[in-house]
Amino acid sequence: MSRCALLEIGVEDIPASYFGAILPDLEARAREGLQAARLEFGSLRCFGAPRRLAVVVTGLAERQQARRREIKGPPREAAYDAQGKPTPAALGFARAQGVAVETLETRGDDKGEYVYAVLTEAGSETRDVLGQVWTELIARLAFPKAMRWGEGRMRFVRPIRWLVALLDEEVIPLEIGGVQSGRLSLGHRTLSPGPVAVPRAGDYVETLRTANVIVDQEERLRSVDAQACELAAILAGEAYGPDNLAEQVAYMTEHPQGFIGSFGEEFLSLPMPVLVTAMRKHQWYFAVLREDQPLPHFIGFRDGGDHALDTVRRGNERALRGRLADAAFFYGQDRASTLMALLPSLERIAFAEALGSMLDKARRLRHLAERIARSAALGEDLLQAAQQAAYLCKADLATRMVIEFPSLQGTMGEHYARLSGEPEAVAVAIGEH
């Protein structure tokens, strides 16, 4: 009869960006631990949400696999006399291994013939070894950054607050950092605050669902994608969330709830990369596009239900308004200078130790571009464009917009190059670099 096992590690909120590294490591080490313990299993799934990491194993064997060991003893000629009777060497070896001398086996290899004791170790019951497997798993997990808490030496991604360890309905005892395992998890922080008992390991996902926690990260991701699409359709637009935004939102919430917000149309004068980045970086919002052009709306998510959603919407609109006002101010300041006028500011930005400033780098790039262009016989016009693009491609590092949004480096350079009257080939090259 196969069993189902559960380990849930309840923690303080884990940063969303950590899960891409944590979950593969959790699965790999869980599999390694079970295999090292000689516990056969059918399937293994790992779950991650802001306040919990979990492993669910199905088809788990009742007990460890038996282990067969062969222990090499003395040479055959030392173990048996001329009549084939065991000598004291064979008797002592058999006694030391706890086997009858009659069960010793003879094997030959390139060094000669030796006697062997063959031992078969019966496996322990799964309930007796699973606690050690989980303890070692938790100790071996790696994180982008770990922390200590309290007075202990325990290091983990965030302080551990509860543990659920079950084999079917049976609690598997273990202790980590002073926290004892049990069957009590915690529901959603606001929708179902307080403990929730998990009756059986196989009921974990559905039990937490009744407590308004969607533990399956793939289900949360589908929910975020579906809600974003549905809300954008209300505005006759499409949701736009670059750089795995939906995945990040799914890892920031245990019960994602989408809503539509708006901002002033005056901010539509900002370049679209600025709008999208301001929403994405600071507020985790989806932009709404219609025919590839932004609308004065966004789609945000809260971790919770629809209670007082209008209040949440107003608060988010107020926060975004401040971000966009800052971006508009930076954009206005940057437009007052050409890229060429910004070049001297690169002297104050270090490139690397012993390699000078970013202005030194720009000069080297211009020199290299000239050499490559001449060796490729590109012609004088393209040579001049390549040199100019190489010289200006780092100039936007000195703009307020790129200081605020470093991911826009190059993108803003292309935009500002056009505003500075640079040839189109130069602007495109800066953006593409």
- Check residue 142 and give its pLDDT: 93
What pLDDT sits at residue 113? 86
Q: Which residues of 46-77 are buried (b: 16+ CB within 10 A; e: fewer)?
A: bbbbbbbbbbbbbebbebbeeeeeeeebbebe
Structure confidence by residue, pLDDT tens digits, 30-57? 999 999 999 999 999 999 999 999 999 9
- List the one residue out of 225, 178, 177, 184 whose CA is nearest residue 207: 184
Tokens 């009858």 belong to which residue? Answer: 100
Pick the more confident residue, 26 or 93.
26
With cut-offs at 50, 70 and 90, classify the pLDDT of residue 339. Answer: very high
Give the span between the Cα atoms of 289 and 274, in whole angstroms. Answer: 14
> Which of 12, 6, 26 is CA-nearest to residue 186?
12
What percentage of the chain carries pLDDT values higher than 90?
Answer: 80
- pLDDT tier at 267 (50, 70, 90 boundaries)? very high
243 compared with 216, residue with greater pLDDT: 216
Considering only CA atoms, which of 279, 429, 423, 425 is closest in space to residue 413? 429
- 3-state helix/strand/coil string of the chain: CCEEEEEEEEECCCCHHHHHHHHHHHHHHHHHHHHHCCCCCCEEEEEEECCEEEEEEEEECCECCCEEEEEEEEEHHHHECCCCCECHHHHHHHHHHCCCHHHCEEEEECCEEEEEEEEEECCCEHHHHHHHHHHHHHHHCCCCCCECCCCCCCCECCCEEEEEEEECCEECCCEECCEEEECEEECCCCCCCCEEECCCHHHHHHHHHHCCCCCCHHHHHHHHHHHHHHHHHHCCCEEECCCCHHHHHHHHCCCEEEEEEECCHHHHHCCHHHHHHHHHHHHCCEEEEECCEEEEEEEEEEECCCCCHHHHHHHHHHHHHHHHHHHHHHHHHHHCCCHHHHHHHHHHCECCCCCCEHHHHHHHHHHHHHHHHHHCCCCHHHHHHHHHHHHHCCHHHHCHHHHHCHHHCCHHHHHHHHHCCCCHHHHHHHHHC
In the prediction, which pLDDT does 306 show? 92
Q: What is the CA radius of gyration of the chain?
A: 32
> What tokens were used for 158?
């965030």
pLDDT at 46: 98
Q: Which amino acid is at 165?
A: A
Least confident residue range of 18-22, 105-109, 144-148, 410-414: 105-109
The answer, yes or no, to whether residue 68 has pLDDT greater than 80, is: no
pTM of the predicted protein model: 0.83
Which of 128-137, 152-161, 167-176, 219-228 shows the lowest per-residue confidence on average (mean pLDDT)? Answer: 152-161
pLDDT confidence of residue 1:
66
Question: What's the confidence (pLDDT) of residue 74?
Answer: 87
The least confident of 92-106, 267-281, 387-401 is 92-106
Q: What is the pLDDT of residues 93-149, one digit of tens each?
A: 888 888 888 878 888 877 788 878 887 777 789 999 999 999 999 999 999 999 998
Q: What is the mean pLDDT of residues 241-263?
A: 96
Average pLDDT over residues 54-81: 87
Asked whether residue 14 carries a pLDDT value surpassing 90, the answer given is yes
